[in-house]
Structure 1
Amino acid sequence: MLVSASPFGHVLVDDHHIPRYWATVWAMFHGPRLAASTLKRKLGHIEALYAHVDQLGGSLDDALHSLDFVTLGNVLEAFFAQLRNVSTPTESAQARWNTSFHFVRDICERLERDPTVGNKMESVRARMAQLDRLYLGLRPFRRRLGAKLRALPRNVVAALLDAAMPGSDANPFEKVETQWRVYAVVCLLLYQGLRRGECLLLPANFLKSEVDARTGNLRWYMSVQSNETEDDPRGTHPSIKTASSVRTIPVARETAQALLAYGENYRGIAEHGFYLSSARGAPLSLEGVNLALRRLTEALPVAIRAELFDRTGAHMVTPHALRHTCAVVRTGQLLKSGKTPEQTMMHLRSFFGWSRKSLMPLHYAKAALDDSLNDSWNDEFDARLSVLRNLPQ
């Protein structure tokens, strides 16, 4: 159970009030980097896994200590089934699964680096890789693909960009460094259509340029991939969703200039190689992105927030809502430019990191052709006024 242990915050204990060993170790390493509320929430997710193993008559600490991957695999599979086997799965189940799985993975990685454990590094890594393949992509909560996908309303995006623009009176963040960090996140999500985890894995030098041999103009591009050269200290590790998510995509000049401005002037001196850095100089976390968008949403006028809920059913602008908006707008651009449906599907799969068999482009095409999106589409999506012009009324 989760108990308060002032001044150390919260700790997990068993029924005899003895601390959960590996949960305590995990909290010691990751707790200082997390807000107290975030650490408490994550420990609650981890406790759910401990309690599940207790009910099965086992010991999660023992399985972790001995690196018993057979037992760990069985435990994770049963825990996933428990989260999934409910009448109405909720999004909180996904957070609980992600936190629990990455907790197990993190402890195994730490034990792998301990020479006193006596396991061959290659063997442990192979078994950890097998855990990743089997369980990393599992999702106890899945949205129905039949649900309507919609871009954020034009007024919502206009107000959001006003709030995110560095130096704007509507910007809710006091420090200019924070304003530029959040603006860079919005650019990556809205203009480049990246997933939240993909943004957080970008290395500091991810933005590249080259001279176009045909026009002589400078063009920008970026690669989306895992950053395996960095030790990731974050409590919840961001990850690349699938092999198809690894891709190279173009970047408009205006977007590149904004991203360079943050990286060169406001990122600060950091001891890590990730592009997005927190105010403390650590890699920006998944929770940090969520908090930033929550602050931006709360800064929107009441009427705009009401429109957001009325049009989308959401109270907050989420990272994936910005990716949805990018996908819908770019789909409409491609169709309006004369691309065939097949060409459009191919471009979308390449740009957004979907597999060749993915049906997601079809859903975005349907959204782009919705009557509410039948405005004329301009080519320069990445210019601010064009973004607003291209969004639905």
Structure 2
Amino acid sequence: MTPNTHPLRLHTVLTASRLSLRQVAEPAGISPAGLSQLALHGQWPKRRDQAELRQAVTRSLADLGVPTEQLDHLFEPLPDATQTAPSTTDKPSLLPPLRRAHRAGTHPNTRTTPNQEDTMLIAKQSLTTDARKHFKLFTGPFDDEVTQDAHLFANAEIRFVREMVWQAALNARMLALVGESGSGKTTILGDLKERIQRENKLLKIIAPSVVGMADKDTKGKPLKSSDILAAIVLDLDPKATVAQTSEARTRQVLKLLEEHRKAGWAHVLVLEEAHDSPSTTLNQFKRLHERMRVGRAPLLGILMVGHQELADKLQKNDVREVLQRTEIVELRPLGVKSGDLAAYMAHRVKAYCGRELGELFELDAIAALATRLQGDIYPLAINNLSNRALNQAAELGAPVVTADVVRMA
């Protein structure tokens, strides 16, 4: 591995401009790998006149549209050379601009402040054709969704969440599944459906449409109790005529659920994007759960799936009765010290490509990935950043992804 020396200001210009190394390097008459070594470590090609190379690189950047004011002092060392080492305090100026927002608390009871937003999201990255050829990958290990059990990564935390969702569905409980964007909520729901089929359970999932749903009329259309009841009727009896009044529709739903219960069926109502539900809808879920019973036995489980805002809404006074009846389970980030990040990546590479992780990533690259993600280590973000790093390595001609490649990606 190349020792860290002194990164140059050139590095910050390259990352901020979002130009590829090849775009800058070829007109300047230097290889992408050579340009990377120069920018990250201040290592000049031995057989190239430094003054001539400075002019060539500066001219290449100017021709590619980099503002003139950014071309001054390109080849001076950065003030703090330690910024290149992977740490939790890496300065953003050394990294490409990832679309990041601060996570809310890691526990459902953690309240957010007004300036806290959703978790970090890296723009969608796919493995390029060049990268597939370079690494001989006919299937992208970080491209495809989970479509079969063998693809599903599960640590102790994920197995716990899966079982909580399963038991809530079977036993008609109220459960809120919360997680940041890309944390695996959709994968958990897919696993629920697969398990129902695999175990031949008489468990019916009822999922009202959430297209255009919002918590306020100004943003979209709030989901109302009449919509929910209609969805239940049409799922249980597609040929039925939905009753027009609220009371008649409620009785219609209760009768259908009782009939299906006698036939051995259990039912769970699944509402995705539940963080966009207004408080009135959340309260209606609680009333629906109480009304749909035979004696003490509930006939309808309710599974609300959403971002952290859902847990925040359930803390508010106007839905406090809903919180008292709802279990909350959270999909948390994968751990670094626990080895979950490396285990997840190794699982993906093996399950999708039949390869070993070490064939694609050096060990220090895993630590660099963790640094780039800065604690928000969720599957979607890992996949996108891993693809970006593989694409960067292919562009450089590197045999594997190293920590330096991750920092340049």
- Band the TM-score falls in, shorter-chain normalisation: under 0.3
Q: TM-score, normalised by structure 1?
A: 0.24
Bigger helix fraction: 1
Q: TM-score, normalised by structure 2?
A: 0.23
Higher relative CO (Cα under 8 Å, sequence separation at least 6) belongs to 2
